[in-house]
Structure 1
Amino acid sequence: MNYSIALVPGDGIGPDVVAQATEVLDAAGDKFGHVFNYVELEAGGCAIDHTGEPLPPETLEAAKQCDALLLGAVGGPKWETLPGNLRPERALLGLRAGLGVYANLRPAALLPQLWSACPLKDEVLAADNPPGTGGFDLLIVRELTGGIYFGKRGRSDDGNSAFDTETYSKVEIERVLRIAYAAAEVRRKKLCMVDKANVLESSRLWRELTQALSREYPHIETSYMYVDNCAMQLVRSPGQFDVIVTSNLFGDILSDEASVITGSIGMLASASLGDPASAPGQKGPRGIYEPIHGSAPDIAGRDIANPLAAILSAAMMLRYSFGLETEALAIEAAVNAVLDAGLRTADIAGRGDPGGTERIVGTREMGAAVLKALLGEG
Structure 2
Amino acid sequence: MNKTITVLPGDGIGLEVVKATTVVLDKLAELYGHQFEYKYADIGGSAIDKYEDPLPPETVESCKNSDGVLLGAVGGPKWDNHPSGLRPEQGLLGIRKALQLFANLRPVTGHESLTDSSSLKKEVVDNVDLMILRELTGGIYFGKPQERRQMDGEEAALDTMVYKKSEIARIVRQGFEMAKLRRQKLTSVDKANVLESSRLWRETVEEIKQDYPDVELEHMLVDNAAMQIIRDPKQFDVVVTGNMFGDILSDAASMLTGSLGMLPSASIGEQAPGLYEPVHGSAPDIEGQGKANPLAMISSSAMMLKYSFGMLEEAETLDRAVSDVLSAGHRTGDIAKEGETILSTDEMTEKVIEALKK
TM-score, length-normalised on structure 2?
Answer: 0.96
Alignment of 1:51-200 (within 5 A): 51-122=51-122, 124-125=124-125, 134-152=126-144, 153-157=146-150, 158-200=153-195
Give the whole-Å Cα distance in 1 for the aligned partners of 2:127 and 2:116: 10
| Cα deviation code 1:106-139 (max 9, x no counterpart) | 11121101111121124545xxxxxxxx331111
The CA distance in 2 between the partners of 1:124 and 1:33, in whole Å, is 41
How many residues are aligned here?
355
Q: Unpaired runs of 5+ in structure 2?
A: none
CA contact (8 A) 1:70 1:290 kept: yes
C-alpha contact (below 8 Å) 1:110/1:263 kept by paired residues: no
Q: What is the CA–CA distance in structure 2 between the aligned matches of 1:75 and 1:287, rounded to whole Å?
A: 21
Is 1:302 the equivalent of 2:289? yes
Partner SS for 1:343 = coil
Q: Aligned-pair distance for 1:185?
A: 2.1
For structure 1, list consecutive stretches of 5 or more residues without a partner in the other structure: 126-133, 280-285
Amino acid at match of 2:148: R
Mapped partners of 1:10, 1:76: distance in 2: 10
Deviations 1:228-263 (A, max 9, x none): 111111111111001100011111111111012220
- CA deviation after TM superposition for structure 1 residue 222, in Å: 1.0
Q: 1:22 aligns to what?
A: 22
Aligned to 1:255: 250
How far, CA to CA, are the matches of 1:79 and 1:14 in structure 2?
16
Most deviating of 292-301 and 181-190: 181-190
What residue identity is the alignment partner of 2:353? L
Distance in 2 (alpha carbons) for counterparts of 1:291 and 1:168: 26
Instruction: Please state how far the C-alpha of 1:211 moved relative to its aligned partner.
Output: 0.8
Q: 3-state SS of the aligned residue for 1:107?
A: strand
CA contact (8 A) 1:104 1:271 kept: yes
Partner SS for 1:271: strand
Kindly report structure 1 stretches of 4+ aligned residues shifted beyond 4 Å.
Answer: none
% of aligned pairs identical?
A: 55
Amino acid at match of 2:315: A
For residue 335 of structure 2, what is the aligned residue in structure 1?
348
Question: In the alignment, which of 190, 210, 213 is matched to residue 218 of structure 1?
Answer: 213
SS at match of 1:89: helix
* Among candidates 317, 339, 346, match of residue 364 of structure 1: 346
Q: Which amino acid aligns with 1:155?
A: R
Q: How does the TM-score come out when normalised to structure 1?
A: 0.91
Offset, 1:297: 1.3
